[in-house]
Amino acid sequence: MTQHLFILTGGSRGMGLALARQLLVPGHSLVSIARRANPELAAPEGAQLEQWTLDLADGAQAAARLQSWLAAQPAGRYASATLINNAGVIPRIAPLSASDPADLANALRVGLEAPMQLTAAFLGATEGWGVPRKVLNISSGLGRRAMASQAAYCAAKAGMDHFTRCLALDEAAKPNGARVCSLAPGVIDTDMQVQLRSADAADFPDVGNFAQLKSSGSLTSPEEAARRLLAWLAREDFGANPVADVRDA
């Protein structure tokens, strides 16, 4: 029982890809769930990789596959199990009054509904494993600070924070409950940032602030952000605060 299992959503690009690469070390088994597989991802000797191509807008389907896969794993195969809910999308940047209903629904399904469904499947299927289990939800400062023209993304992240608080109470009442944390990773130089600073100023009053973050060199690289997140995941006190920020002491 030497392998440590990691399940990661959104592992094909951006910070998710950086997380996947850093998780692929000997002794780790990684299941990466994304809409597309990344051919650049490869497991070194002593590690294992599966890439599942699933659209998390259908979180129920993804959760059913995860539950079934976990239930089929041999007893005692893994020394620990961790779920990292990283996937998220920004719908078209616009005031809510100008937003498309289907676009809003997609953002909430990927950013909030699927993490809840996957977490339920993961915890239910591994509850009898008798090994340490963790859930790391990748949140955002925008879940804790309102921003114009970002209602769906902010709402998804705020919901993620609060469901993690509820989940922490659930798991604390169990003899072998999982440790959980909704963690904001800081401001990262990804495609999402490109979207934000390329938006029309008429639709997005904060566009200048995001352009300034880039021009002033204030953005963290995906690789450094992933390193900080995994360092937090490895902390002895992981989950002591169910909602946290990597910039916290």
List active site positions. Answer: 153
How many H helices and E strands in the chain?
8, 7
Instruction: Return the closest-CA partner of residue 148 out of 216, 85, 84, 200.
Output: 200
Which residue is it, tokens 């998390």?
56
Residue 98, token pair as written in the block: 């100008």
Give the integer Cα–Cα distance in Å for 43 and 154.
Answer: 35
**Three-class SS state of 36:** coil
Cβ–Cβ under 8 Å, residues 133 and 81: yes
* Triad 185, 246, 126: Cα angle to 5°: 80
Token pair for 93 = 């940047």
